[in-house]
Amino acid sequence: MNKNRKIVILGVNGQLGSEFHKRLKGVPVSRNIDVLDADGDILWVFNKDILDITNFENVRKEIRGIKPDVIINCAAYNDVDKAEVEWRNAFIVNGYAVKNLAELCKEIGCVLVHYSSDYVFGGSDNLLEKYTIVNNPKPLNKYGTSKLLGEHFVKESGCKYYLIRTSWLFGMNENVSFPLKLIKWATGKKELRVVDDQVSSPTYVADLVEATLSLIDTEEYGLYHITNTGWCSRYEWAKYILKIVGWKGTVEPAKGMDFNTPATRPMFSVLDNFPLLEIADISMPDWQNATDRFIKDNEIKI
């Protein structure tokens, strides 16, 4: 894809959107809309306060006025447990708002980049087989179902799209980033219990952004899985993180059912990145390398 593109980023205050803004040399978000030059591209950066994707008419008006070449949709409903009760909100944000965006992209000839989740899987009997892009999704919870609905609308819209599933995304958002939440839990304690029956691939938001930008340049549209490689349980990841930061306590394994969360999580939701390397020549680092860099680059301490 040529440079000098007009790119819209939605959900810029979130974990993923803020990383895109940072990577594309955007100034810190000090106001609701930033229009700036970045590597020859022009960015329009929106947070929820100025452009809520559930306000369909406002979205249509704003996007038609800009006529972007690419929309990167980082806005999402991500509270897995609350979605069991607030499923209507989850379905609107992750489903019908995405439908509106996809149909709009078709109308104006814009490329849509949209993110989905490993949680669209988890209901099969193939417990220890990685999920490929040809496996049939079968979500276990309302959140996963809402993400699957969004996928359906993107595919049916007829727009050019990159539909990207990822897993266990982590960055500098302390409300959703497992490493940051873990360190907060561990501070001042000598023992932690972390589930060992949920297995997937931790994915560093910076690596996902880099891979997405490389993928966009290929113009090889379609469905992709993008995660850091390898996999681990939450328990194994927690031990790895806490060892790096020098925590002296003990991490004990637990089961998901011990915590009585409203939403059922898949026990094994590892995504196979094929054909990311074969089509786009994109190779992802492993989750250990990604975790190391995250902690070092951001000077994470306990």
- pLDDT one-digit tens code per residue, 256-296: 999 999 999 999 999 999 999 999 999 999 999 999 999 99
Distance of CA 23 to the CA centre of its chain: 16
Whole-number Å distance between alpha carbons of 187 and 296:
19
Which tokens sit at 155? 């595919």
> Which structural domain, as residue segments, surrounds residue 225?
6-171+203-229+270-284
Place of tokens 């800009």: 66
135: in domain: yes
Closest CA to 164 of 219, 227, 226: 226
Q: What is the pLDDT of residues 226-241, one digit of tens each?
A: 999 999 999 999 999 9
Whole-number Å distance between alpha carbons of 183 and 206:
20
Cα 156-147-224 angle, rounded to 5 deg: 70
Q: How many domains does the chain have?
A: 1
247: in domain: no
Whole-number Å distance between alpha carbons of 245 and 234:
17
- Cα separation values, 48 from 35, 89, 226, 228, 253, Å: 16, 15, 25, 28, 38
128: in domain: yes
184: in domain: no
Above pLDDT 90, what percent of the chain?
85
Q: What is the pLDDT of residues 71-123, one digit of tens each?
A: 999 999 999 999 999 999 999 999 999 999 999 999 999 999 999 999 999 86
239: in domain: no
Q: What is the pLDDT of residues 128-170, one digit of tens each?
A: 789 999 999 999 999 999 999 999 999 999 999 999 999 999 9
Read off the CATH number of the domain in which 41 is found.
3.40.50.720
188: in domain: no
197: in domain: no
Closest CA to 128 of 197, 193, 226: 197
178: in domain: no
